[in-house]
């Protein structure tokens, strides 16, 4: 058989075999235009039906793409309209709490400038919650490795560079005092309780409220979620609250009552409380880790855990599990303490249960659950007990800067009060 390039007679073109097309001035062997150009090689003209079918198919494809683009553009317009509507609503209310998009962007840029940080490394760090120099510098290398999957040498370089840029090291006591003078505080709603705490619940600390049932632990947590949204001149931090509920005791209707007691728009107050229900101890730990990415993004100024010990107490049963339980609680508390170091304007409050010590013959047999691990992990510890009627008594048990003292407060329908 003659080569395709040597075929000159139209009758010698055979379908299925290679042929030289005089229209393209090239050899065809297979492909979607094979049949159409074979017809031209044989007859000297194109098959009009084939051309028309190709044209129709092309037009249908173009129309389909146009429809898809139209649907996408319409959906984007609807999203933008919803966003604009939300912005208009926020501007009309007395509580305007904005997201910190600029602060997040600045933190990410600082991390990106670290030596050896490319796009892939940056994405791993952000996904694992290490989106700032502080979060990298204050976190142990093992935890960064477990969360991000980066190598030991890379993590070592990142931590060293972050520490150098932050200037971590020794400071004078005078510098620490200047920082302490500017610490913000959230009012509890009770002036007497605020006085015992020297102004209210302070930021940069883990504050533990423990006591029996009906002593006001959850009520104080609800009140703090409302008060943290107040302007600073009224005892707030102008921020949002993140509420981790381990016992299913969070009640929006109680937030509404407290908001109305302060003449606030309860709809806006509810919007500014981010709620998470922890269904087991592992989920509780995970929610705290996920909170890292929300703090700056959502302007979180208060984290509530109600309660700390509930799931651990029910899941780790018997003395054989005591060691692993205490180790897990210790790591959980240090996650919280680390958040206070990374975000100095963040306050963390948690509630704790009590247990009875049967060998106590004199004095109060009740002790906070969790033992020395929880005692050492909390910055300030407050013991709550019942008083007369709606009165409750709060006693400062342990604080590095506060003397022991008691305050009497009441739980009213409008919230915590003297």
**CATH dotted code for 101-166:** 1.10.150
Provide the residue ranges of all domains of the chain, joining segments of one domain with +.
4-46, 101-166, 178-417
Q: Which residue, among 125, 126, 129, has the nearest Cα to 150 in the 3D structure?
A: 125
Collapsed DSSP state (helix, strand, coil) of residue 73: helix
- d(CA 296, CA 239) in angstroms, rounded, equals 10
CB atoms within 10 A of CB 126: 18
- pLDDT at site 231: 94
- pLDDT at site 353: 92
- pLDDT at site 111: 87
- pLDDT at site 116: 82
Ramachandran class of 360: left when φ > 0, alpha when ψ lies in -120 to 50, beta otherwise: beta
- pLDDT at site 272: 96
Tell me which CATH homologous superfamily contains domain 178-417: P-loop containing nucleotide triphosphate hydrolases (3.40.50.300)
- pLDDT at site 4: 45
Give the distance, in angstroms, between the CA of residue 336 and the centroid of all CA atoms in the same chain: 13
Going from the first residue of the chain to its last (418 residues), give the mean pLDDT of each consecutive group of 10, the final group possibly shorter.
Answer: 47 64 65 60 57 54 57 46 41 62 78 86 87 89 89 90 88 91 93 94 95 92 96 93 95 95 94 95 93 89 94 91 93 94 94 84 80 92 90 93 92 91
- 330-to-137, 200, 334, 335, 374 alpha-carbon distances in Å: 20, 26, 6, 9, 7
- d(CA 196, CA 90) in angstroms, rounded, equals 36
- pLDDT at site 16: 65
């Amino acid at each position: 058989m003659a080569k395709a390039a040597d075929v000159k007679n139209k009758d010698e073109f055979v379908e299925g075999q290679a042929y030289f097309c005089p229209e393209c001035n090239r050899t065809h062997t297979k492909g979607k235009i094979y049949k159409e150009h074979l017809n031209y090689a044989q007859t000297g003209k194109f098959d009009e039906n084939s051309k028309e079918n190709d044209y129709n198919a092309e037009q249908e494809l173009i129309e389909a793409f146009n429809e898809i683009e139209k649907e996408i553009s319409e959906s984007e317009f609807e999203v933008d309209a919803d966003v604009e509507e939300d912005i208009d609503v926020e501007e009309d209310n007395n509580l305007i709490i904005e997201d910190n998009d600029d602060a997040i962007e600045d933190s990410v840029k600082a991390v990106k400038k670290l030596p050896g940080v490319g796009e892939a490394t940056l994405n791993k760090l952000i996904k694992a919650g290490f989106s700032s120099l502080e979060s990298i510098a204050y976190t142990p290398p093992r935890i960064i490795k477990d969360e991000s999957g980066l190598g030991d040498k890379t993590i070592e370089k990142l931590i060293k560079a972050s520490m150098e840029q932050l200037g971590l090291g020794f400071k004078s006591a005078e510098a620490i005092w200047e920082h302490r003078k500017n610490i913000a505080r959230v009012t509890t709603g009770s002036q007497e309780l605020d006085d015992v705490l020297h102004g209210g619940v302070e930021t940069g600390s883990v504050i533990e409220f423990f006591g029996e049932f009906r002593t006001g632990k959850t009520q104080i947590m609800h009140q703090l979620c409302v008060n943290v949204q107040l302007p600073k001149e009224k005892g707030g931090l102008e921020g949002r609250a993140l509420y981790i509920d381990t016992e299913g005791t969070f009640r929006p209707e109680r937030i509404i009552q407290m908001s109305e007691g302060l003449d606030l728009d309860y709809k806006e107050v509810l919007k500014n409380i981010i709620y998470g229900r922890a269904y087991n101890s592992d989920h509780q730990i995970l929610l705290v880790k996920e909170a890292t990415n929300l703090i700056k993004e959502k302007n979180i100024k208060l984290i509530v855990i109600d309660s700390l010990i509930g799931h651990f107490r029910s899941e780790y049963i018997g003395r054989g599990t005591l060691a692993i339980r205490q180790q897990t609680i210790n790591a959980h508390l240090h996650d919280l303490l680390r958040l206070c170091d990374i975000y100095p304007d963040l306050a963390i409050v948690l509630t704790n249960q009590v247990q009875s010590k049967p060998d106590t013959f004199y004095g109060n047999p009740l002790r906070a659950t969790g033992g020395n691990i929880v005692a050492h992990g909390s910055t300030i510890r407050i013991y709550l007990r019942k008083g007369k009627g709606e009165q409750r008594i709060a006693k400062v048990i342990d604080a590095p800067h506060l003397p022991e003292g008691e305050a009497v407060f009441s739980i009213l329908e409008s919230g915590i009060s003297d």
